[in-house]
């Protein structure tokens, strides 16, 4: 592929809003995540969470994906800087637009689980046994 062909792929119209039924979603809107059933573990963990629409992306096949940043993510600022791990993509139909009065309603409260690397845990355990 030459430079011109790559440029054609990258030259796509930006999407700043998308219509889902009677609702229009736009960048900057607050939404509740309602992933479809049968998704992955992230869908289970993020279901019911409130988020901000950071961008609306269109892939090379024309499918629209909505990128969100979670309200209660401690690394939210990294998501707003478009860093990996703090932005999540959803189909527009998996989002529910929040009204202004729902902004202060907390998302579904779930127990938090700390996930640590097993190598770190093993080395800490080893040190404890050796002492």
Can you give the pLDDT of all 131 residues of the chain as single tens digits? Answer: 777 777 766 666 678 899 988 999 999 999 999 998 887 888 888 899 999 999 998 887 889 999 999 998 887 777 777 777 788 999 999 999 998 766 555 555 555 555 544 444 444 444 444 44
Separation between Cα atoms, residue 26 and residue 92, nearest integer Å: 10
Please determine, looking at this structure, whether the domain spanning 3-130 carries the CATH number 1.10.8.
no
Return the domain boundaries, the chain: 3-130
Say how many C-beta atoms besides its own lie within 10 A of residue 79's C-beta. Answer: 21
pTM, to two decimals:
0.69
32-71 burial by CB neighbour count: b if 16+ within 10 A, else e?
Answer: bbebeeeeeeebeebbebbbbbbbbeeeeeeeebbbbbbb
Q: What is the pLDDT of residue 91?
A: 94
């Amino acid at each position: 592929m030459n430079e011109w062909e790559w440029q054609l792929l990258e030259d796509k119209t930006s999407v700043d809003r998308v219509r889902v039924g009677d609702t229009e979603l736009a960048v900057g809107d607050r939404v509740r995540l309602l992933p479809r059933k049968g998704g992955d573990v992230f869908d289970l963990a993020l279901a019911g969470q409130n988020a901000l629409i950071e961008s609306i992306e269109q892939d090379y096949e024309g499918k629209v994906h909505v990128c969100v940043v979670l309200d209660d993510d401690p690394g939210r600022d990294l998501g707003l800087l478009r860093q990996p791990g703090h932005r999540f993509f959803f189909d527009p139909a998996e989002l529910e637009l929040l009204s202004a009065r729902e902004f202060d309603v907390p998302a579904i409260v779930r127990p938090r689980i700390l996930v640590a690397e097993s190598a770190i845990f093993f080395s800490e355990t080893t040190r404890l046994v050796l002492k």
